[in-house]
Amino acid sequence: MRRFRPVVLTILAFVAGGFATVGWQDWQTHRAPAAHAATPDGKVSFAAPSASLADAPASPADPGQPDLLSDADWPRDAPTPEQVIYAQPDLLNRETARLRSRTPGKVNLYAVVFAGDGSQNVFRNEAEYFDKLLSQRLGASGHVLVLENNPASLSTRPLASWSNLEDALDAVASKMDPKQDILLVYLTTHGSEDHTLLVDMDPLPLDQIGSGDLPGILAEHPFKYKIVIVNACYSGGFIPPLQGPGSMIITAARSDRSSFGCGEQSELTWFGHALLVDALNKTDDFRQAFAMAKQQIAAWEKRDRYVASDPQISVGDGIAGQLAKWRSGFTPGPAVPFAPAPTTPPVAATSTGSTR
């Protein structure tokens, strides 16, 4: 399942550079070189274009070209798509360098948080909040990597992409004791009826991640104990290929149901709010937190007369006992209040409505 990441990065850069000939005819005259460097505040700086991509003259519509080549929704005053692609190794290396070594003598928890859809701020809000919750309350400070697609974090967070997910897992695996430490992967985005997660930062050509892909990505390392939380519509379809000994799989919905709360006005998804903000601020037991969240979501859905999303959980042999050992190794911090992450106007949504 390991993909040829250097080759893929080169191809992506070539594709992005080729936008000038297929959709961005004046791009090369407006853009600055794709040089970038780390700044003291932790951002990656880019050479600013002399004119925003959003201000570049639009080329005539060509029905033969795919929609992903359009630059109409790319945020103003942002690095160009090519600059974003070239910055990924630096961004990811900076984030992985911040990972702390495991604490010996106890079970450690390491987490990768993946916010896949860059068209709505709700997913970034969830990723940023879970980072704080894990670090400040759940004893995982220095053990969290956040990948996210959002206009506001193109120079501060690595993209949520298939290749970056593999690299993030490489990084946490290098810090963990694979025989006793626990991996947590939290994915939040839109989901489809064929059990595919939306990975989108249009117009970047990012691969989607399906229920058949994620097990192979995780299998690249011998993670004996893991929690995988999939917060998306139809996410129950991820349980069969992921479940097994040592694994706890939690999903926001069953395989044939939508989940709710990702509209343009939402700050968090219903499942994210119920599980992260409400439940995990009261208990550090993931199984108990799931039960609390499921009950709360059912009440909200009944109130609003929605078809029940019916969140799901699968608990494999051994993971409950290992989580108990993890909980015995730290004292939970105080509840972490939720506040939306600072934003810029989001890229136009690829879907509408409140279901995901």
Is there a domain that residue 100 lies in?
A: no
Is residue 132 located within the same domain as residue 272? yes
Q: How many CA atoms lie within 13 A of 160 on its CB side?
A: 32
Last residue of a domain, one of 89, 116, 138: 89
**The predicted structure's pLDDT at residue 43:** 53
Last residue of a domain, one of 58, 89, 120: 89
**The predicted structure's pLDDT at residue 3:** 57
Q: How many structural domains compose the chain?
A: 2
Q: Which domain holds residue 14?
A: 5-89
Give the model confidence (pLDDT) of 91-132 as tens digits: 999 999 999 999 999 999 999 999 999 999 999 999 999 999
**The predicted structure's pLDDT at residue 261:** 83
Is there a domain that residue 18 lies in?
A: yes
Is there a domain that residue 95 lies in?
A: no
Q: What is the residue-level pLDDT of the chain in tens, covering all 356 positions?
A: 555 554 444 444 444 444 433 333 333 333 333 344 444 445 554 444 433 333 434 434 444 444 444 556 677 777 889 999 999 999 999 999 999 999 999 999 999 999 999 999 999 999 999 999 999 999 999 999 999 999 999 999 999 999 999 999 999 999 999 899 999 999 999 999 999 999 999 999 999 999 999 999 999 999 999 999 999 999 999 999 999 999 999 999 999 999 998 766 789 999 999 999 999 999 999 999 999 999 999 999 999 999 999 999 999 999 999 999 999 999 999 999 999 887 654 343 333 334 55
Is residue 55 located within the same domain as residue 113? no
Is residue 123 located within the same domain as residue 254? yes
Is residue 158 located within the same domain as residue 85? no
Q: Which CATH number does the domain housing residue 257 bear?
A: 3.40.50.1460
Last residue of a domain, one of 89, 116, 139: 89
**The predicted structure's pLDDT at residue 118:** 93
Is residue 152 located within the same domain as residue 298? yes
Is residue 77 located within the same domain as residue 112? no
Is residue 320 located within the same domain as residue 202? yes
**The predicted structure's pLDDT at residue 63:** 42
Complete edge-to-edge strand list for the sheet that includes strand 312-315: 144-148, 109-115, 182-188, 225-231, 247-251, 312-315
**The predicted structure's pLDDT at residue 90:** 95
Is residue 69 located within the same domain as residue 115? no
**The predicted structure's pLDDT at residue 156:** 93
**The predicted structure's pLDDT at residue 295:** 98
Long-range Cβ contacts of 24-29 (<8 Å, 24+ apart): 24/53, 24/56, 24/59, 24/69, 24/71, 25/57, 25/59, 26/56, 26/57, 27/53, 27/56, 27/71, 27/80
